[in-house]
Amino acid sequence: GKTSPPKPYTEATLLRAMETAGKQVDDEELREMMKNNGIGRPSTRANIIETLFRRKYIERKKKNIFATSTGVELIDTIQDELLKSPELTGEWESKLRKIERGEYDASQFKEELIEMVTNLTRSVINEKAKVISFQEEIQPKQKKEATPRKNVAIIWEETDCPKCKENKLMKGKTAIGCSNYKGCGFKIPFLLFGKKLTEKQIHDLITKGKSSKLKGFTEHPEGLSEGILRLTNDFLLDLKID
Ligand SMILES: [Zn+2]
């Protein structure tokens, strides 16, 4: 008692559809022009699809591709029909062929392009701002990939002491320090100026001589609450604003 909707595109059929976008164009002359063109160039078509995925305008469900609500709303906000139709490419190609044959003036074509872009830009600026919802449709596969954050454990016993350069470091209860602490004296406490440092932050300090910008210091003698930690020439710790 009812018709069925057209089959959803797969990546392969979408690529094919882009190649032959001219088939949907009603005007015969334009269709002829688009036969060899389609949407995009052969070298850029796959990239165009990738961009649509990256911007979450389309999504994969098994092998099939569907427009997301963001994609549908985006198309909806473009008021100028020409901008979202394959005819635009066809029209341009048609005129380029005419220029080739000396039947159309190149500078006039350029003028037309400038005028069109100017008008489109003006109408977009003057339109009332429309908000496009950005829904992140999480697929189980992506979720799975996002969870295990690679937290590479730091092996202190294989890291050289920056001060004496003779001994390795070791992790104690309250600090990372030289394994010959009595002779060398180097250590970085986990709790510094009232902030608990992570092993990664301490590792950065030791290997790069400074940390990234850190926040949450509560007991700095000069009252600094954030800044960059540096290892001084005497291998002491110094907190500065930047
Ligand atoms: Zn040492």
Q: How far is the CA of 152 from the centre of ligand 1 (A)?
A: 24
Residue 129: predicted pLDDT = 64
Assess if residue 151 is contained within a domain: no
Q: Are 71 and 134 in contact (CB under 8 A)?
A: no
Residue 153: predicted pLDDT = 77
Q: How far is the CA of 222 from the centre of ligand 1 (A)?
A: 29
Q: How far is the CA of 47 from the centre of ligand 1 (A)?
A: 53
Shared-domain flag, residues 21 and 122: yes
Last residue of a domain, one of 146, 165, 189: 146
45-54 and 11-19 helices, crossing angle to 10°: 130
Residue 146: predicted pLDDT = 47
Q: How far is the CA of 187 from the centre of ligand 1 (A)?
A: 8
Q: How far is the CA of 132 from the centre of ligand 1 (A)?
A: 57
Assess if residue 1 is contained within a domain: no
Q: How far is the CA of 177 from the centre of ligand 1 (A)?
A: 8
Shared-domain flag, residues 136 and 35: yes
Structural domain including 35 reads 9-146
Shared-domain flag, residues 142 and 168: no
Q: How far is the CA of 191 from the centre of ligand 1 (A)?
A: 20
Q: How far is the CA of 183 from the centre of ligand 1 (A)?
A: 8
Q: Are 159 and 167 in contact (CB under 8 A)?
A: no
Assess if residue 47 is contained within a domain: yes
Q: Give the whole-angstrom CA distance, residue 121 versus residue 192.
A: 54
Shared-domain flag, residues 76 and 104: yes
Q: How far is the CA of 163 from the centre of ligand 1 (A)?
A: 5
Last residue of a domain, one of 146, 180, 209: 146
Shared-domain flag, residues 162 and 116: no
CATH of the domain at 20: 1.10.460.10
Shared-domain flag, residues 95 and 70: yes
DSSP track, 9-73: EEHHHHHHHHHTGGGG---HHHHHHHTTT-SS-TTTHHHHHHHHHHTTSEEEETTEEEE-HHHHH
Shared-domain flag, residues 127 and 167: no
Residue 145: predicted pLDDT = 47
Q: How far is the CA of 165 from the centre of ligand 1 (A)?
A: 6
Shared-domain flag, residues 51 and 169: no
Q: Which residue carries 């380029």 as its tokens?
A: 96
Shared-domain flag, residues 17 and 95: yes
Residues with a beta carbon under 5 angstroms from ion ligand 1: 161, 163-164, 167, 178, 184, 186
Residue 103: predicted pLDDT = 93
Shared-domain flag, residues 185 and 165: yes
> CA separation (Å) from 71 to 68, 145, 219, 227?
5, 24, 50, 42
Q: What is residue 94's three-state secondary structure?
A: helix
Structural domain count of the chain: 2
Q: How far is the CA of 208 from the centre of ligand 1 (A)?
A: 17
Q: Are 128 and 200 in contact (CB under 8 A)?
A: no
Last residue of a domain, one of 146, 180, 210: 146
Which of the residues in the chain have pLDDT under 50?
Answer: 142-149
Shared-domain flag, residues 126 and 60: yes
Assess if residue 130 is contained within a domain: yes
Shared-domain flag, residues 20 and 96: yes
Interval 63-81: pLDDT, tens:
999 999 889 888 887 777 7
